Structure 1
């Protein structure tokens, strides 16, 4: 394990101005003992060089390699670092959500704790955000990862996510992103949804873009990702698709399939009844009769699911006071425009 050395000079540089914070950097951490000191210093150096008022929030996600104790020690020595310690390993999505719950800045930066994202790229994202975007995503154009276990699955996942969500980005999986704080406040994260943050932001009406960023080979430890995560990604992708299309109108999907099922069931029922009455043929042992009953029952069930989903969506929005729309701005009568 590495040794944490923190000079008095760095400690003095870390003192935050008393004015309002501009940037909150959220870093999920899981077993990154060797990386932590280098990462925190690199983030601070990048932001101080650009004269930004900032804070760093490191969320320890149930580390078992000593990262928790090291993080607490660094947080005690610095004034720009807040350590959020989770009770156990919940996953990257939960860690990011915990970090979002403790931010004080008007802009949020997220990045991984393994030093593969370069903190020196943070100003690039912030400058792009100033052009009027609500979210800027990093694109690891020259990615330094294993081709078979990381690059190929990632390319397939990016293509699938882009096809399903309609948001064409080169790199959904890059953790280095910049958000406006009010955008994050509207998003609730579950499962493995951190990969789908651009899609969730798009649902909230965000303006999204991406820029190329640097990516470094892992210096310490080993990757926590693998092919086994693909199944989770596919399941969450289906959730995002449903949220994009039918979050406020679930009856439109359940009702449609229910209607189709009922129509087919009724049509088959009339057909069998016609055969029975006109030709006097027994229909009791016909597979079509079973299909007719199944379709009718499925139609009723789908309609019932649709009604229940409508009630749940109303509860979801009304209990949280969440509107079904997002207002970007309001122009008052007689107000003077800029420029």
Structure 2
């Protein structure tokens, strides 16, 4: 990938943070100048209803390194980050929240870990938090569940302060509430060197938090989605087909057993009843029908997956040697 002259892209997603933006901007600029970084700051306004966009425009007029994008409505933090990732020009991308709870003083060390220690991704860990227990306790449970399901052992998936190698952010696709799972997606994309750094967490200085407890429910559902898509997205028949085959086999065996039981009772002159009078028959019939639908769903999913691969070729190539050569035979 082409090396950019810009060392750092700092992406700041925000929603109604007009009070904190000037102070955050000045703090970032101070750190950039002290460390002689070439940089850009991308303020991603997620449809704010206060003066956030006006403040961003004013900052852009003062500082040529400031870029801003404003959504027509509130799409969510994931959308802001995904758009920022695509627009970023730096070789190292830093994400941080706009509420001044993330310290820009952490940026030089994060940059060093990416460029010198060769990490693909470094996630912040707010070991000491200044949040109420109603926020910290669900976060701990959420992080534990994410570690167990994903196999990525980070203490704090929710920390907004993260550093990425350029190739990582250009390869991920996030939507819904998946921003907190970027380390998981990165690992599944083959970026295995993922680190963690204890970072300073500060109490919110202006305004109130924009997130409620529902984010943990939505986030958990998104985790299940990406876990399923990662494992079976390219081979849906392995899941739906296997499940459908087992259900069809179970239903068929149960039906044959009911029929065999009736035949045995007839020839042994024992009382019997019609197969359709047995509730187990309807259970078996339902299982066979559902199993057939699962198998058909897996078959159709396989066709769609193959078509998607042929059109997009969504496989990441780490390295490549040589270039295509065209050989033209000389006329004799």
> 2: distance between equivalents of 1:313 and 1:43?
44
Output one character per residue of 1:39-98: Cα deviation in whole Å (capped at 9) or x when no partner.
Answer: 111112112211111100001000011111111121122101001111110000001111
Contact 1:165 1:244 in 2 (8 A): no
Q: C-alpha displacement at 1:211, in angstroms?
A: 0.9
Root mean square deviation of aligned Cα: 1.5
Structure 2 gap ranges (5+): 267-271, 323-332
Match of 2:214 in 1: 228
Partner of 1:299: 291
**TM-score scaled to structure 2, two decimals?**
0.90
Q: Distance in 2 between matches of 1:312 and 1:174?
A: 36
Residue of structure 1 aligned with 2:106, choices 108, 117, 121: 121
Q: Deviations over 1:213-233 (max 9, x none)?
A: 111010000001121222201
Tell me the residue number matched to 2:244: 258
- 8 Å CA contact 1:29–1:59 kept in 2: the answer is yes
Match of 1:152 in 2: 137
Tell me what 1:198 maps to: 183
Within 5 Å, which residues of 2 pair with 1:25-40?
Answer: 25-40=10-25
Alignment of 1:144-293 (within 5 A): 144-148=130-134, 150-206=135-191, 207-280=193-266, 281=272, 282-293=274-285
Q: Which residue of 1 aligns with 2:303?
A: 311
Return structure 1 stretches of 4+ with deviation > 3 angstroms: 326-332
Alignment check: 8 A CA contact 1:264 1:295 kept: yes
In the TM superposition, residue 330 of structure 1 has moved relative to its aligned partner by 5.3
Offset, 1:331: 7.5
Deviation of 1:243 after TM superposition, in Å, equals 2.4
The worse-fitting range, judged by mean Cα deviation, of 29-38 and 276-285 is 276-285
52, 55, 75: which one aligns with 1:90: 75
Question: TM-score by structure 1 length?
Answer: 0.88
Q: How far apart in 2 are the matches of 1:37 and 1:318? A: 48
CA distance in 2, matches of 1:197, 1:108: 13
Structure 1 gap ranges (5+): 1-18, 333-339
Structure whose CA Rg is larger: 2
Asked if 1:54 is matched to 2:48, the reply is: no
